[in-house]
Structures are given as structure tokens and as C-alpha cells.
Copies of this chain bind each other. A is one copy, B any other.
């Protein structure tokens, strides 16, 4: 999938929403926990109810690994379900991996070949070695952590370098030519929307994956104001505020309502910017 194909989907659905399937076994509705494949059943119902409002799903691998082999199996089942029923969806493995070349090669095989993810999130700390093996897969994407939305993101990302830039800017500046705007995105948190303007000066064309809407408190209008480019250039994620909108048998309908509300807001922002 390339950036224009993602843009086509954004226009078709009037949405740049990604839904995070952070499917915590301890938080999914009680009535599903007794099933053979509780995480998959939960995901399937969430997906069917929300797919018309979003262009992407992001599975946080931690929540599946926490359930051992059974969890990994249900992650694979979720990927297969999405890819066979909704092939247009941009599917992100939120794995935050980052290792040396031979190890990255193994991860690339696991996430891009064994499972059919379109993209994987990576930590940049170990440098270009981390990214290279993933970039050799045509049509697949790396999404590098740049400016995250968590409280302690400032610990290192905001350290000022000797040339006056912040570390997150250096990460983007130094990595932007490892691949290109059709193979590389960056994580940039919604909780720091003003900094998206700084980021846009370094990478006007790249897509940004924006976490921090919803449970983490980011503001969508500000994200659009500072981050949107002429092909939208944004994929905004919401996880808990959608998938755990309700905790009983009504959970999928509640999730659909929460997703639809965000999609409407996104449609307005896209119209304001004359993108649709």
C-alpha cells in the first residue's frame, strides 16, 4: 500500500481514524471471557461494527503476548480476519520493536510475511540497522517513534542537542531518508499538537501516526491545524475510548457510536481544509 492508496481511503470514508485493538483480556466484556477465543471474538465484533468509520486498525502486540501462545494465535486470527474481509484497511502492528539487523530481519519476517501486517512501529534508539530489513519489503511501512504521547516522553525526546534541536527532531531529520514518504511514517503524539508544526517543517509529506486522542486527552482540531497536509498526512488513533466505550453486551454498538462521532469530526476537518 502506498500513501496515495491510503489517501484514497481517507477520501472514501471521510475519515483518518485508526482504532487501536488494545484488547486487554481483563477489560473485555465478561460474557466473552468464557469463549474459546475471547480476544478474537471481541476484535471481530469491534471490527465489524466500526470498519466503516476508520481506515486503519492497530494491534498493540503486548496485549496478545500477555496471553501467551493463545494470545498470539488470536492476534494472527485477527489479522487474517481483517485481511480477508477488509483488504483496504491499513493494518499496523504496534510492536515498538528495535534491534540489530539480523534480529530485525526475523521481526520483518514475523510481522510482514507470517502475519500480513502493512506496518510496524519501531523504536529508533539503535539507529538505521533497526529499520533497514523492514524497508526492503515493497509496499510495507515502518512507523518510527519520534514524539510519543506518554507523560515521560520528555525524559529523552526533549533533550536539547548541541545544535539547538530536540532529540525527536534529530530522530526525524536523520531518519527521513532511510526510506521515503511511501515507506516511513512517524509517531507524533496528539498531546503535543503545536510541535507538529515543527515536524511538518522537516517532513512536509510523510504520514504521521497520532496517538493520544481520547483517554490520553489530545485535541483533534489542534492536530489537524498543525499536522494536516494536502493528502491529509494524518492517521489518528483512538484505542480505549472506542473499544471500551461500554463493557457489556452492547460494547460493539457503543464502540461504533464512539468511532462514528470521531469520524464526523474528522469529516468536518477534512472539509475545512478542502481535502474532501
Secondary structure of the A side of the interface?
helix
**Residue from B65, B103, B174 in contact with A156 in the complex, judged by beta carbons closer than 8 Å:** B174
| Surface stretch bound by B, among A146-154, A197-205, A254-262 | A146-154
**Contact between A160 and B161 (Cβ–Cβ < 8 Å)?**
yes
Quick one: which of A135-182 are within 8 Å of B by CB? 145, 148-157, 159-162, 164, 167, 170-171, 174-175
* Number of copies of this kind of chain in the complex: 2
Shortest Cβ distance from residue A205 to the other chain B in the assembled complex, whole angstroms: 22
User: Which residues from chain B contact A123 at a C-beta distance below 8 Å?
Assistant: 96, 98, 123, 125-126
Asked if A88 CB lies within 8 Å of chain B CBs, one says no
* Cα-based distance from A24 to B148 in the complex (angstroms): 33
* Cα-based distance from A52 to B117 in the complex (angstroms): 42
Quick one: which of A57-101 are within 8 Å of B by CB? 60, 62-63, 65-66, 68-69, 72-73, 76, 96-101
Shortest Cβ distance from residue A36 to the other chain B in the assembled complex, whole angstroms: 15
Number of interface residues, chain A, beta carbon within 8 A: 55
**Contact between B103 and A126 (Cβ–Cβ < 8 Å)?**
no
**Residue from B66, B96, B114 in contact with A66 in the complex, judged by beta carbons closer than 8 Å:** B114
User: Which residues from chain B contact A13 at a C-beta distance below 8 Å?
Assistant: none
Task: Name 26 A/B residue pairs within 8 A (Cβ), A-sorted.
Answer: A60-B99, A62-B97, A62-B99, A66-B110, A66-B114, A68-B76, A68-B114, A72-B72, A96-B97, A96-B126, A101-B150, A123-B125, A123-B126, A124-B125, A124-B155, A125-B145, A125-B157, A126-B152, A127-B151, A127-B152, A127-B155, A128-B155, A159-B161, A159-B170, A162-B162, A162-B164
